[in-house]
Amino acid sequence: MRIDPIHYLEASSCSIDSSRKLHFQARYSDAIYLAGVSVECLLRAFITHKFDKRHDLHELFKASSLEKLIPDRRRREVGCWLGTIWARWKNNYRYVSDERLKSEFKRLKHDRGISGDYLKENSRMVINCAYNLRILGENQWRHLNKK
């Protein structure tokens, strides 16, 4: 099946919406995974050439034209969003339970400074960053396609 950039953009939107629903259902590992998929789809929407790297968000970002479209005044903010996601999302998280991901986040020290349910808080952080990236990406998409 052919998947065009607009299809990736639509999938990004659907994935982040589903991710938010999963978060509110306390399905945090699923929510984190789907938020990362949303970012992956968004980045693929901005890749204009054949790209063989599979699920590496850092490589996808470098290959996408999105970086060139980020206004200078927003680069630091976008870098923080991406850093938060890169530190907390791996493609193989789709195979783990909340308990397993909680253990992994503790090992990675993603529990530091968080009182209460640190998996829930990390889920919230990843989803918020992915949502912000989606909004930025959709705005850039509209701007590019006005021309």
What's the whole-model pTM score? 0.89
Question: What is the distance between the alpha carbons of residues 136 and 44, in angstroms, rounded to a whole number?
Answer: 14
pLDDT grade for 113, boundaries at 50, 70 and 90: very high
pLDDT at 90 over 70: yes
Give the Cα separation of 14 and 19 in Å (integer).
Answer: 9
* Mean pLDDT, residues 134-141: 88
pLDDT value for 17: 98
Q: What is the mean pLDDT of residues 109-122?
A: 97
Which helix (H) or strand (E) is 69 found in, with range?
A: helix 66-69
Per-residue pLDDT at 103: 97
Which element (helix H / strand E) includes 68? helix 66-69
Is a pLDDT exceeding 70 seen at residue 39?
yes
Give the type of residue at 37: V
Cβ neighbourhood burial of 121 (10 Å; 0-12, 13-18, 19+): middle
DSSP for 35-57 reads HHHHHHHHHHHT--S-----S-H
Where do the domains of the chain lie, and which CATH numbers do they carry?
5-146 (1.20.120.330)
What residues have CB less than 8 Å from 12, skipping those under 6 apart? 38, 39, 41, 42, 45, 134, 137
